[in-house]
Structure 1
Amino acid sequence: MIDLRSDTVTRPTDAMWDAMRNASLGDDTLEGDATVQALEQEAATLLGKEDALFVCSGTMGNAIATLVHAHRGGEAVLDQDAHMANSEGGGVSRLAGLFCRTVASRRGEMDLQIL
């Protein structure tokens, strides 16, 4: 079984190790990595978007999202049980300059009865 919740949950199979050993490599800083570029293009095509960006972790994706969608000094409104609120609040504050405001919820949806 492949569990994509985290890069540390699923152990690579022999086929995965072979693919990693034989992968073409490029320098992402200079001309770019062809494999990553192909993955980004495939994702953009599948989603009907002009372009896509590969990020190597959920934390990196969350950091980019907060930087893009909010202004420094504002608030990030988060589910009280959100991973960002409980494990990434320091990064949200330091990198994006946001204060994490948690709201009561039921199964990930704001609980308007409590608010």
Structure 2
Amino acid sequence: MITRTVGLRSDTVTKPTETMRAAMATADFDDDVLGYDPTALCLETEMARITGKEAALFVPSSTMGNLISVLVH
């Protein structure tokens, strides 16, 4: 029998690779709160396209997404 373990403790136990650091250092960014961040805009636009919706909203947690859904329903 094979035992597989998935560690979900925290992001603090992992370290970014040099490639990840380079990507972060050269990434385009702006204020996402005001809707100016190009990476977030790209993600939201692509998700809206994939799901066939007019727009999409990225939120950092499923709890936040669920709360938003309840509040706007």
More helix as a share of residues: 2
Cα distance between partner residues in 1 of 2:45 and 2:9: 23
Post-superposition, which runs of at least 4 consecutive aligned residues in structure 1 deviate over 6 A? Answer: none
- In structure 2, stretches of 5+ residues that fail to align are 1-5
Where does structure 1 lack aligned partners over 5 or more consecutive residues?
Answer: 70-115
Of Structure 1 and Structure 2, the greater strand share is in 1
TM-score after normalising by structure 2: 0.66
Q: Which has the larger radius of gyration?
A: 1
Q: Deviations over 1:5-34 (max 9, x none)?
A: 797398354233322222111112345111
1:12-65, Cα deviation, whole Å (9 max, x unpaired):
542333222221111123451111001100111111111110101112112112
Equivalent of residue 21 in structure 1, options 21, 25, 31 = 25
Q: TM-score w.r.t. structure 1 length?
A: 0.45
1:41 aligns with 2:45: yes
- Superposition RMSD on alpha carbons, in Å? 2.8
Q: Give the percent of matched residue pairs that are identical in Structure 1 and Structure 2.
A: 44
Counterparts of 1:66-105 in structure 2 under 5 Å?
Answer: 66-69=70-73
Higher relative contact order structure (alpha carbons within 8 Å, sequence separation ≥ 6)? 1
